Amino acid sequence: MGGQKQITSHFGETNLSGLRIFVLGTRGFPNVQGGVEKHGEELYPRLAQLGCDITVFTRTPYFPKGKRFPEWRGVKYFPLWCPKQKYLEAFIHTFIGVLKSRIGSPDLLHIHGIGPSLMVPLAKILGLKVIVTNHGPEYQRQKWGKLAKRVLRLGEFFAIKYSDKMIVISQEIKRFLENKYGRRDLELISNGVERPLPIPPGEILLKYGLKPRQYALMACRFVPEKGIHDLMDAYSKLENRQFKLAIAGDADHETEYSREIKRIAKEREGIVLTGYISGRPLAELFSNAGLFLLPSYYEGLPIALLEALSYGLPVLVSDIPANREVSLPNSRFFPPGDVALLSRKMAELFAQGISQEEIRRNEELLIKKYDWDVIAKKTYEVYASMIKK
């Protein structure tokens, strides 16, 4: 507990400051593809501003020598080796990170995801106080085989059984875990979104041959559960294509699926792949799109959807629980996998656009439920409550 002191916090009560928090379960940030990575990029600098001493264990394949930095926006980094391999990467990285955490003796170890949560029992044996953020039942993702899904289910069980505290990012995940395991002390703290500054058309649009408001956008990793194949098929079914389809993203680990997506995109007119982009280039794509699309079969709580709403875009998303949790009109949903309906609604909504009333309603929703500053304060309160106990 060294370095902690009593202060009067922003929350109107006495809390602990200077908490030493170690973070596992993310590849690292900024500018690394992934929902957990975006979550950490927004959350941890804010927690550092609130007085927490944050150290994030990063994965060296994503931060090669020469591109590593010891600190960013008040967050410290500790690079750990791991293989860049889909099945072993998180497991080995978290194992080494837990051992390093035992040496470093933080006040709290914060683990993200059910895969890394396989190491929660080890962390508890080593005397660490552990908080887990459950970003959703990863074993529902199509990319995992039967054995991997069993291992992920075990990680979910270990997190529920042995963590000192658990955060969930959506009401749907909370209900699911409560019904499955009976644990009732789960803290619901959602993902969030920044209020963006729109970027005028510039280099990125010019590079990819896109014109303002004349393209639909999807931003995601190239994995089967995102439904990219459905979206490209739906786009190809349009009889009179008045707009292009831009897909921003790539695969973390090249697969047959990601190679097939790239092959199809090259063969079909009007489909543009930008690869993984972030920061200002991605903001330029969001700022000038005419429609945002998310045809996923599975999501935790999609940050990309929240970002699209923050840019005032009309959206069309699959009718799954995670997307339904973001309060949108029924007209903005379609059944996952229904390519014909997706194609028809895509054309209709692109032509229709979005009303000022809907933009205003979406802005109010984001301020009320998905503000990163509020999310950071709620997370800090959970940390403080664990230390008090």
Q: State the pLDDT at residue 140.
A: 87
| Segment 222-227 mean pLDDT | 95
- DSSP three-state, residue 187: strand
Domain that holds residue 159: 5-192+371-388
Position 6 pLDDT exceeds 50: no
**Token pair of 367 as six digits:** 């301020």
Q: What is the CATH number of the domain that holds 229?
A: 3.40.50.2000
Average pLDDT for the chain: 93
Which DSSP string corresponds to 32-87?
--SHHHHHHHHHHHHHHHTT-EEEEEEEGGGS-TTS--SEETTEEEEEE-----TT
Out of 11-15, 19-23, 60-64, 356-360, which region has the weakest mean confidence (pLDDT)?
Answer: 11-15
Question: Within 13 Å of residue 279, how many CA atoms lie on the same side as its CB?
Answer: 4
Residue 175 in domain: yes
Please, which residues have CB within 8 angstroms of residue 376's CB and are 6 or more apart in sequence? 43, 46, 47, 49, 50
Q: Are residues 57 and 155 in the same domain?
A: yes
Task: Report whether 216 contacts 246 (CB < 8 A).
Answer: yes
Q: Are residues 271 and 182 in the same domain?
A: no
Strands 5-8 and 14-17: antiparallel
Q: State the pLDDT at residue 141.
A: 82
74-106 per-position pLDDT tens digit = 999 999 999 988 889 999 999 999 999 999 999
Q: Are residues 40 and 84 in the same domain?
A: yes
Q: Are residues 359 and 246 in the same domain?
A: yes
Q: Are residues 178 and 209 in the same domain?
A: no
Q: Are residues 30 and 151 in the same domain?
A: yes
Residue 154 CB coordination number (10 Å) = 15
125-177 per-position pLDDT tens digit = 999 999 999 999 999 887 788 999 999 999 999 999 999 999 999 999 999 99
Cα–Cα distance for residue pair 287/303, rounded to 1 Å: 16
Task: Report whether 216 contacts 228 (CB < 8 A).
Answer: no
Residue 197 in domain: no
Q: Are residues 212 and 158 in the same domain?
A: no
Position 17 pLDDT exceeds 70: no
Q: State the pLDDT at residue 263.
A: 97
Residue 235 in domain: yes
Residue 214 in domain: yes
| Segment 238-254 mean pLDDT | 92
Residue 198 in domain: no
| Segment 204-212 mean pLDDT | 97
Total number of domains constituting the chain? 2
Q: State the pLDDT at residue 356.
A: 95
Residue 35 in domain: yes
Cα–Cα distance for residue pair 69/56, rounded to 1 Å: 12
248-301 per-position pLDDT tens digit = 999 988 999 999 999 999 999 999 999 999 999 999 999 999 999 999 999 988
Q: Are residues 65 and 142 in the same domain?
A: yes
